[in-house]
Amino acid sequence: MKTRITTLLLALFMSTMMGFAQQDEECMNNLSIFDSYVKSKKYDDAYGPWKIVREKCPKFNRAIYVHGEKILKHKIENSSGAEQVAHINDLMLLHDQSREHFESRYDLGDVLGDKAQLAYKYRKELTKSDDDVYNMFDEAFTKDLKNFNSPQGLYTYFSLMVDLYDAGKKKAQEMFDKYDDVIEKIETEIDANTVKLNRLLEKEEAGTALTKKEGQYKRQYEQYLEAFDKVTSSMDSKLGNRATCEVLIPLYQKDFEENKSNGVWLQRAMNRMYAKGCKEDPLFLKLVEQKNTIEPTADTSFYLYLLTDEQKYFDQTIKLQTDPLKKAKLYKKLAQELKGKGSYGKARQYYMQALKLNPSDGSPYIAIANMYAKSANNCGDTNFNKRAVFWLAALEAEKAGRVDGRLKSTAAKYAVSYRASAPSKQDIFSATNAGTTIKIGCWIQRSVTVPKN
């Protein structure tokens, strides 16, 4: 009896294994077929064999979901009406299935963000309201903030909030809070990519060539930083005059008593007032002093330094801020304030401090070049030497392009413009001083070599 049961179980096991083997063979064949079609961009031909593998062997290979997204996007873009909606919903389902069958390779924030972006793109076809799509993005943001890091997704999320505010469905404070939430997330992503990029730049500066893989990573980090910079700029444009001093001051005055013990509210309020140029209003000082009383930070010390010009607050700022990237931002803020007041020498000093802490941010070089150019008429003893300052400005601008991929185009334009204002070849020929060194005076105190050709 025991022998018969063992034989029966063995037969059943072998039968099951043969079934799996046959299924695997069919899936393998169809996988090979649709993979080849996708690589040739023959998405319509790939659809049939891909669908077979997806339905019969959903865990067989991740290509089902990687290639499946390309196939369905092609179908969506080349269909209309009910057929298009069916493909859109199928892609939504595919995103869910990718995480279901390959959870370790598909983060929740990514999946929910992709679905939300798809819903936004085809919201008319899916008859989804702004509320519907916003809630989809909000789910990604709240359930898996760490992995919801798409620049496009983050912008769309905030943009929908503004649209809902304009429609009277969200309050101003909700809109400002969401702006801060998204900006904080973007700053986290920027800092993470900047740290990685700086390590590679330090390696290059030390004279060690990057490996091929490191070069790819460098370009990737630069692309992310550029994308997040654009998102931040677009968010500010979208917010527009909804966040002017005329709007912010009454709002914060009204809510101050209720929130005067809320450190987060105070921090965000004073940061936004500073960013929007409202620091001259008495409310700004009131916010800063209150925040400094209940919870001193590097930001409150920095703002108090700007308001009082007392050195003790600047010393406190540097002491309280230990994060190199955040400290670099504070140095840059201070430099911008000094630049605006015409204190170019001190401004350059703090721009250089920012560069030491964050060498992949080329914007201080652009700012220094701009100060050189503006000082050209005051920092030379002859017309030739005054115009020679523009060579110095061009060299400084070019440094920005070398260290910061985001600024290559901008830096090149500045450099060309500055060189156009410098002495021409004819001027150099007439002065007979090619190759000589010119000492630039006043606050600049730098030298520049006259080009030989």
CA dihedral of 22, 23, 28, 34, whole degrees rounded to 10: 130
8 A C-beta contact, residue 285 and residue 307: yes
Q: Region 216-225: what's the mean pLDDT?
A: 94
8 A C-beta contact, residue 113 and residue 148: yes
Burial of 441 (0-12, 13-18, 19+ CB in 10 A): middle
Burial of 187 (0-12, 13-18, 19+ CB in 10 A): middle
232 to each of 71, 133, 144, 184, 348, how far by Cα in Å?
33, 21, 21, 11, 25
For residue range 227-247, what is the model confidence (pLDDT) as tens digits? 999 999 999 999 999 999 999
> Looking at the predicted structure, is the pLDDT value of residue 9 above 50?
no
> Looking at the predicted structure, is the pLDDT value of residue 258 above 90?
yes
For residue range 416-433, what is the model confidence (pLDDT) as tens digits? 999 999 999 999 999 888
Q: Region 203-218: what's the mean pLDDT?
A: 93
Residue written as token pair 């001083």 = 433
CA distance 400 to 407: 6
Q: What is the pLDDT confidence band of residue 114, given thresholds at 50, 70 and 90?
A: very high
Show Cβ contacts of residue 111 under 8 Å, excluding neighbours closer than 6 positions.
95, 96, 98, 99
Q: What is the pLDDT of residue 205?
A: 86
Sign of CA dihedral 360, 364, 366, 372: negative
8 A C-beta contact, residue 379 and residue 373: no
Show Cβ contacts of residue 225 under 8 Å, excluding neighbours closer than 6 positions.
190, 193, 194, 197, 360, 405, 406
> Looking at the predicted structure, is the pLDDT value of residue 77 above 80?
yes
CA dihedral of 342, 343, 349, 353, whole degrees rounded to 10: -60
All structural domains of the chain with their residue ranges: 1-106, 355-453
For residue range 329-360, what is the model confidence (pLDDT) as tens digits? 999 999 999 999 999 999 999 999 999 999 99
DSSP character at residue 104? G
Distance, first Cα to last Cα, the chain? 102
What are the counts of helices (DSSP H) followed by strands (DSSP E) for the chain? 20, 2
Q: Which two tokens stand for residue 207?
A: 């004279």
pTM of the model: 0.85
CA distance 235 to 180: 11
> Looking at the predicted structure, is the pLDDT value of residue 19 above 60?
no
8 A C-beta contact, residue 320 and residue 298: yes
Residue written as token pair 């990057």 = 210
Q: What is the pLDDT of residue 381?
A: 85
Q: What is the pLDDT confidence band of residue 89, given thresholds at 50, 70 and 90?
A: very high
CA distance 11 to 22: 16
For residue range 22-55, what is the model confidence (pLDDT) as tens digits? 458 899 999 999 999 999 999 999 999 999 999 9
Read off the amino acid at residue 101: H
14-23, 170-179, 382-391: the lowest-pLDDT one: 14-23
Share of the chain above pLDDT 90, in %: 89
Residue written as token pair 């929908």 = 160
Q: Region 54-66: what's the mean pLDDT?
A: 95
Q: Which two tokens stand for residue 162?
A: 């503004």
User: Which residue in 165, 156, 106, 163 sits closest to 136, CA to CA?
Assistant: 156
Share of the chain above pLDDT 70, in %: 95
Could you tell me which residue, 199 or 381, shows the higher pLDDT?
199
Q: What is the pLDDT of residue 24?
A: 83
Q: What is the pLDDT of residue 23?
A: 56
DSSP character at residue 209? P
Instruction: Indicate the average pLDDT of the chain.
Output: 92
User: Which residue in 165, 303, 183 sits closest to 247, CA to CA?
Assistant: 165
> Looking at the predicted structure, is the pLDDT value of residue 289 above 80?
yes
8 A C-beta contact, residue 374 and residue 188: no
CA distance 160 to 153: 11
Let me know how long the chain is.
453
Residue written as token pair 């209720």 = 258
Q: What is the pLDDT of residue 15?
A: 40
Q: Which two tokens stand for residue 413?
A: 């334009």
CA dihedral of 352, 339, 406, 178, whole degrees rounded to 10: 110
DSSP character at residue 62? T
User: Which residue in 58, 73, 64 sits closest to 31, CA to CA?
Assistant: 64
Q: What is the pLDDT of residue 146?
A: 96
Burial of 435 (0-12, 13-18, 19+ CB in 10 A): exposed
CA distance 95 to 65: 8
Q: What's phi and psi for 94, nearest 5 deg?
A: -60, -40
